[in-house]
Amino acid sequence: MKASADLQNILKAIDRKGYPAYKDTRGSYSFGQYELSIDHVQGDPFASPSKVSIHVEGKAAGFPKECYERKERRIAMQDYLLRLFGSEADKYNFKAKGSGKSGLLSVSRCGQEVLERTACVIVPESGAIVLRLEIGFPANGRTICAPELEKILFDFLPRCIQGVLFYSMLNKEEVKHTLFLADDRYYIREHLAEMGLAAFVANGSVLPRESGISDRPMKNSVLFASPKSMEVTMKLPHKGEISGMGIKKGITLIVGGGYHGKSTLLKALELGVYDHIAGDGREYVITESDAVKIRAEDGRSVTGDDISLFVNNLPGGKDTKRFHTEDASGSTSQAANVVEAIESGSTLLLIDEDTCATNFMVRDELMQRVVHRDKEPITPFIERARFLYEENGISCIIVAGSSGSYFNIADCIIQMDHYRPEEITDFAKEEAKAFPAVSLPGDIPAMPDYERIPVRAVKAIEERKGNNYYAQKYGRGGKNRNGENAEGNVREPEHTKIKGMGKESVVLGKETIHLHYVEQLVDAEQAMALGYILAYAEHNMFNGQENLREIVNKLMELVEKKGLAAVVQGSYLPSGLALPRKQEVFACFNRYRSLKIGK
C-alpha cells in the first residue's frame, strides 16, 4: 500500500492539470491509524462526486466486542457512528472551494429509522470499521485545484475520523444508551410471539409526527396510553418494566371518529417493523417484523399472481389463477397486494380504509340482494379474513371508521377517542347482534399457489449479450439507425444502469419501477439497494428454474451472510445503500413490468 506522502506527491504533480488527471489518485493510502481508499474518481466537477472509503482495523478502532458481536447491537452502533460522522462532516462541507460539487463532503443522511447501510460497516469478526463517503474533488472551472483536495484529505477528514472511529474518543454514556436501547427493542421483538402479540405500543409513546413532511415527533402531543384491558407489562433487560398496549394476533379493528388518531396509530404500527432512534417517540412501538401495509394501488402491473382467493369469474373469462394486467383496478391491485404479502411470508396485514378499494373490503346486505353473488367477481376481504387467520395464521389490523360490518368477525375492537384508545369489543359485538351478520360464502377457499417462475432474464440477456443480436441487426462495429455505434450499444447485462429517484422509484435500464405506494419503504437508499438486488436477480437468478419465493429467499440469505456487497456488481461498493426488508424486495420485483413469468 502507498503512503499518504505518495498521495501528496500525486496531488502536487496533477495540480492545475485538466480534471481527468484526478484519476491518478485512485488507490489506497496508509494514514497511520487508518487507510484512505479513493475508490472512484468523478469525471468532472459537476458529475456525481468521488467515492472514498476509510478503513480502520479492529485493533486501532478499539471497540469492545460487546459493541458489535450481536447483530442488533452492531446495526445500532453503525447507525450511531454514521450519524456522528455526518454531523462532523457537515462542519467541513463546502469549506473547500471551487466549481460544481467542489468541496462537497457527505455521508448518508439517516432518518428516524435505524437501518443497515453500506455507508458504515463494522466487520463482526474483527471489529474493523469501514466508512464510505462522497467527496467533490475541487476544481476551478475544469482545472484541478489540488491544494483544496489536500485540505480535505489531510485536514478536514482526519479531524472527522479522529472523533468518531476510535472508541476511546466516544462519549461512553451515549454509546451505552445506544446499545441498551438496541437490546431492549430486540427483547420486545423476540418476545412478541410468545406473548401471542402482533404488536406492542408502549405507554408514553409519541405517535404523531411534526407535519406531513417531517418525520420528527410532534411536540405537545397526547401521549399514548393503553386501554387497561389490553395492557401488558414486560421486563426489559435495561429499562426494566415497561407497560403498553398489546395487540393480540387475530383480527383487530381500529374504529373512531374522523381525526381521532386512527391512521396515526396504524402508521406507527407500519413503521414498527423498524427500530427508531432515541428521542423519536416510537422507540418502543414494535410490530411483527414481517408486517405488510396493504392498500389499493390502481394502475400497477400484476404478473402472474393467483388472486382467485378474492377474484373469480372476471368478464371475458380472464384467468385469475394466473392474473396478468398492466393496469390493475383498485380492487384487483389490492387483492394482488394481499396475495403477494402472503407470498413474502407476512403474518400480519395492516389496512387503512383511507387507502382501500371499498369493494375489496365489504359488500353490504342490500348490495348482495340487488347484485347477486354470481354476478360479482370479487369476494371481499371481510369474507376471507377469518379463513386467513384461522387456517393460515395471518392476522390483520384494520382501520375502519365507516363500516360496522367488521364488528362481527373481529377479535378485538379499539376505539380511538381524542387520540386515546379504548377497548370496546364487548359493547360493539352486543350492538352488532341487532344487525344481520356477514354471510360467509359456503366454499372452502384454497390458498394461492406460488409457482411463479421468472423466465425473463434468459431471453433478455440472450438478446442483450447481443453481439449476435445487434451485430445481426446492424453489422459488427457498424452504425445503427441512430448513427450510434452498434457495439457501444451492446450493454453487457452486468452493467444494467441503476438510478435512484428518492424513495418514490428506482430506474433499472429503461424501466422505472414505481415504489411510491410501497409505504414501508422508508429511505431512498433502500430503493437504490432494491435496484441492485433486482439487477442481480435478473442476471443470475431469473432463469426459469426457481419460483419467485425461492429466489427472494436465496437472495435474502446471501445478503444476510455477505452484506449488500454480494449483490453489487462493479469495482467498488457504493456508499448510499440501505438494506430493505424481504417484504419490500418482493414488492419491488412484483412491480417490475419487465418481469416475465413462466409455467
Residues of this chain that interact with ligand ADP (CB under 6 A) are 207-208, 218, 221-222, 256, 258-264, 416, 419
> Closest separation between CB of residue 267 and Mg ion, Å?
9
Helix (H) or strand (E) holding 540: helix 524-540
CB of 206 to ligand ADP, least distance (A): 7
The residues pairing with 421 across neighbouring beta strands, listed in sequence order, are: 416
Bridge partner list, 253 = 398, 413
> Which sign does the torsion angle of CA 560, 566, 567, 568 carry?
positive
Q: Among 107-115, 235-243, 280-288, 352-360, which window interacts with Mg ion (CB under 5 A)?
A: 352-360
Q: 468 is written with which cell numbers?
A: 449476435
Tell me how far, at minimum, the Cβ of 260 lies from ligand ADP, in Å. 5
**Which of 83-91, 165-173, 257-265, 333-341 is the region at the interface with Mg ion (rule: CB under 5 A)?**
257-265
**In this chain, which of 69, 174, 319, 354 binds Mg ion, going by CB under 5 A?**
354
Identify which of residues 175 and 266 has a Cβ nearer to ligand ADP in the complex.
266
The answer to whether 11 touches 135, Cβ cutoff 8 Å, is no
Provide the minimum distance between the beta carbon of 334 and ligand ADP in the complex, in angstroms, as a whole number: 19
Q: Which is nearer to ligand ADP, 72 or 353 (by Cβ)?
A: 353
**Whole-angstrom Cα distance, residue 394 to residue 348?**
6
Inter-CA distances, 176 with 80, 186, 237, 301, 330, Å: 11, 15, 13, 47, 48
CB of 298 to ligand ADP, least distance (A): 21
Window contacting Mg ion (CB under 5 A); options: 28-36, 179-187, 256-264, 417-425: 256-264
For ligand ADP, give the closer residue by CB, 268 or 534.
Answer: 268
Q: What is the DSSP letter of 449?
A: P
Letter for the amino acid at 412? C
Segment near Mg ion (CB under 5 A); pick from 262-270, 331-339, 488-496, 497-505: 262-270
* Other beta carbons less than 10 A from residue 541's beta carbon: 18
Shortest separation between residue 352's beta carbon and Mg ion, angstroms: 6
**Following DSSP, what letter does each residue of 118-149 receive, concatenated?**
TTEEE-TTT--EEEEEEE---EETTEE-HHHH
For residue 263, state whether it binds Mg ion (rule: CB under 5 A).
yes
Partner from ligand ADP, Mg ion, none binding residue 258, C-beta < 5-8 Å depending on class? ligand ADP
Closer by beta carbon to Mg ion, 356 or else 551? 356
| Residue 26, SS3 per DSSP | coil
Contacted entry of Mg ion, ligand ADP, none for residue 454, CB cut-off 5 to 8 Å set by kind: none
Q: Which residue is nearest to Mg ion (CB)?
A: 263
Q: Quote the least distance from Cβ 354 to Mg ion, whole Å.
A: 4
Per the CB < 8 A criterion, the answer to whether 254 and 399 are in contact is yes
Nearer to ligand ADP, 201 or 382 (CB): 201
> What are residue 402's phi and psi, to 5 degrees?
-110, -20
**Least Cβ distance, residue 270 to ligand ADP (angstroms):** 12
The nearer residue to Mg ion, 354 or 462, going by C-beta atoms, is: 354
- Closer to ligand ADP by CB, 212 or 483: give it: 212
Cβ distance 130 to 55 under 8 Å? Answer: yes
Smallest separation, CB 215 to ligand ADP (Å): 12
138 binds, among ligand ADP, Mg ion, none (CB under 5 to 8 A by kind): none
- Answer for the pair 565, 422: CB distance below 8 angstroms, yes or no: no
Nearer to ligand ADP, 400 or 409 (CB): 400
d(CA 528, CA 518): 14
Quote the least distance from Cβ 207 to Mg ion, whole Å: 13
331 belongs to the binding site for Mg ion (CB under 5 A): no
Q: What are 263's three cell numbers? A: 391512521
Distance CA 85, CA 93 (A): 12
Give dist(CA 559, CA 530) in Å, integer: 12
- By the 10 Å C-beta count (0-12 exposed, 13-18 middle, 19+ buried), 65 is classed as exposed
Interatomic CA distance for residues 162 and 171, integer angstroms: 13
Which single residue is written with the C-alpha cell 390458498?
A: 447
The one of Mg ion, ligand ADP, none whose footprint includes residue 261, by CB under 5 to 8 A per kind, is ligand ADP
The item of Mg ion, ligand ADP, none sharing an interface with residue 264, based on CB under 5 to 8 Å by kind, is ligand ADP
Instruction: Tell me which H or E stretch contains 105.
Output: strand 105-106
- Cβ(134)–Cβ(104) under 8 Å? yes
Smallest gap, in angstroms, from Cβ of residue 499 to ligand ADP? Answer: 34
Distance of CA 334 to the CA centre of its chain: 20
Out of Mg ion, ligand ADP, none, which partner does residue 13 contact, by CB within 5 to 8 A per kind? none
Nearest residue (CB) to Mg ion, 264 versus 346: 264
In the complex with ligand ADP, the residue whose CB is nearer, 208 or 466, is 208
Q: Which residues bind Mg ion (CB under 5 A)?
A: 263, 354
